[in-house]
A and B are shown apart, each in its own frame.
Chain A
């Protein structure tokens, strides 16, 4: 890359930002990756490689290589699926719902969140395909006209899932692209060399004419309006994979809201996890400020409290409902053979967020970073507990109660999923504006005559 994009504007780093500053700062994040970036990318690709290797073994020899054992028919793979779908949620929440709420602070962070969303769904989508027994027949779940005249079963929550996740992926991608167009145009106009060509193509001829804005704005609004119920529905549908089943500790009406809250919770945590280093490496301190982090933290706090409440309700209902299997299931979660998983989840998701009540913590980046990591771990563990542990502790049929031990095949493919996600994420942030240019400008005071001129 040439200097033009990377050259920082000479002006002072304090005071109100100018449009120009925003454009150049964001443009500055693109191109000339350093050694650190390549190390990260390399790590991600290696992880992905490991995952693919494990997957090949799995395809050749069968799911027996993973840790499954009757009655634990679902385990790490589905856990990862739910985990990644969950991660995906904050993206659309921040970009769509907060957009409808006209909360301005979103502008600085929503792009990262959205990118995260798209790639997280991409990752999540892989797991249902990996975990089925005959992966090569995955397309049988799709209603396509076939010689045998067979159709999928639309009563199956798995088919709902397929539709929900598919829709979610498509819509969030559309949403991301919509947001990107003006910004790509912005960096196009300051870029040179091959990037200029790339952006010239990907900007789809955006010039910011009144006609373009005229159609663009409402479309963006409608998309936000569509995405809002979607984001709430997707994880509800995912939760119904479990809530529709008879398994005690799955068969709960609270699951939909509980899962959605959990998803947004984990999503926000992940946004923080990603944003902290990003802000540092890309020197976005002035665009992404403490205020943004505090707001994210507040979101975490809210959703975290909901999750905490959900945990309590689960236990309460298990006791109050009086259904023995339900009760047994929750005793098992608390003091059973996998108590450690249960308590990791409780501590990370239900206890830690209470720290966020303190402004000191909310405004302390490193504290937030640490907490966000814990929340991520906790949320993964939550899904693991719900899926693997409650299946292992099958309460209806005492005779088949069994343990569960994950194997290299489980961990390998899980690691692969992280590699896959971060590979895409890293590739994106170095090549496309990771912070919205146009929308950040909306938050700034427009230059007027009389007002002091910058540059």
Chain B
């Protein structure tokens, strides 16, 4: 809770400072501008080896989720984007601010030294639960990731929003009037 509220405060602050800056520079302000983070220590969620900003990629630059997590739509597993995927862009995109550049350098190093980063897992189901991503995206649409993963596009650092408990799954299945058969997920 506490750190959460502080994040909110931080975001608000950052918006206040950044938006006018955007306004001055002629072009229309983007729908959402990722905040500038001064104190990463106080961010919600686990710290990742590379400070990857979903809010920058998915939020500000409107990169669709399925661009990187492409297999979520066609497979049961979403997989983790390969370093190549990152490098693909970041060989050119160097980052606007020194902090960005520092992080992007990590990506390039990972690519050059063939040492993929070890991301900290956030969303995990126990092994006896099978969650076919493809069916859910098929049913709810490619924008529906937020239903379970929260509004990642506005998260500075990703953290778990939904409890991902069985009761939580069931409530949605009931509401959407889809099956509650045990062997749909447990086998």
Do A and B share a direct contact in the complex (Cβ within 8 angstroms)? Answer: yes
- A: residues with CB less than 8 A from B are 146-149
In the bound complex, CA of A148 to CA of B174 (Å): 12
Residues of A within 8 A of B50 (CB): none
In the bound complex, CA of A146 to CA of B165 (Å): 11
In the bound complex, CA of A123 to CA of B167 (Å): 36
> What are the interface flags for B137-172 relative to A under an 8 Å C-beta threshold, 1 for contact and 0 otherwise?
000000000000000000000000000011100100
Give the interface size class of chain B.
Answer: under 10
- B: residues with CB less than 8 A from A are 165-167, 170
Residue on B nearest A146 in the bound complex, by CB: B167
Residues of B within 8 A of A149 (CB): 167, 170
| Min CB gap B171→A, angstroms | 8
| Min CB gap B182→A, angstroms | 9
Residues of B within 8 A of A146 (CB): 167
| Min CB gap A133→B, angstroms | 15
* A-B complex: 8 closest residue pairs judged by Cβ atoms: A147-B167, A148-B166, A148-B167, A149-B170, A147-B165, A149-B167, A147-B166, A148-B170
Residue on A nearest B163 in the bound complex, by CB: A147
10 contacts between A and B (CB under 8 A): A146-B167, A147-B165, A147-B166, A147-B167, A148-B165, A148-B166, A148-B167, A148-B170, A149-B167, A149-B170
Residues of A within 8 A of B167 (CB): 146-149
In the bound complex, CA of A147 to CA of B166 (Å): 7
In the bound complex, CA of A148 to CA of B180 (Å): 11
> Contacts A148-B165, A148-B167 given; 5 further ones with Cβ under 8 A?
A146-B167, A147-B165, A147-B166, A147-B167, A149-B170
Residue on A nearest B167 in the bound complex, by CB: A147
In the bound complex, CA of A149 to CA of B165 (Å): 11
Residue on B nearest A150 in the bound complex, by CB: B166
In the bound complex, CA of A147 to CA of B167 (Å): 5
| Min CB gap B178→A, angstroms | 15
Residues of B within 8 A of A147 (CB): 165-167
Residue on B nearest A148 in the bound complex, by CB: B166
| Min CB gap B73→A, angstroms | 29
In the bound complex, CA of A149 to CA of B166 (Å): 9
Residues of A within 8 A of B170 (CB): 148-149
In the bound complex, CA of A147 to CA of B170 (Å): 10
| Min CB gap A152→B, angstroms | 14
Residue on A nearest B170 in the bound complex, by CB: A149
Residue on A nearest B166 in the bound complex, by CB: A148
In the bound complex, CA of A147 to CA of B163 (Å): 11
Residues of B within 8 A of A148 (CB): 165-167, 170
In the bound complex, CA of A149 to CA of B167 (Å): 6
In the bound complex, CA of A148 to CA of B164 (Å): 11
| Min CB gap A345→B, angstroms | 41
| Min CB gap A246→B, angstroms | 24
Residue on A nearest B182 in the bound complex, by CB: A150
| Min CB gap A209→B, angstroms | 54
| Min CB gap A55→B, angstroms | 27
In the bound complex, CA of A148 to CA of B170 (Å): 8
In the bound complex, CA of A399 to CA of B166 (Å): 40
Residues of A within 8 A of B165 (CB): 147-148
In the bound complex, CA of A148 to CA of B167 (Å): 4
Residues of A within 8 A of B166 (CB): 147-148
In the bound complex, CA of A300 to CA of B58 (Å): 82
In the bound complex, CA of A147 to CA of B171 (Å): 10
In the bound complex, CA of A86 to CA of B105 (Å): 76
In the bound complex, CA of A148 to CA of B165 (Å): 8
| Min CB gap A136→B, angstroms | 16
In the bound complex, CA of A235 to CA of B129 (Å): 40
In the bound complex, CA of A135 to CA of B170 (Å): 26
In the bound complex, CA of A264 to CA of B170 (Å): 48
| Min CB gap B133→A, angstroms | 22
In the bound complex, CA of A147 to CA of B165 (Å): 8
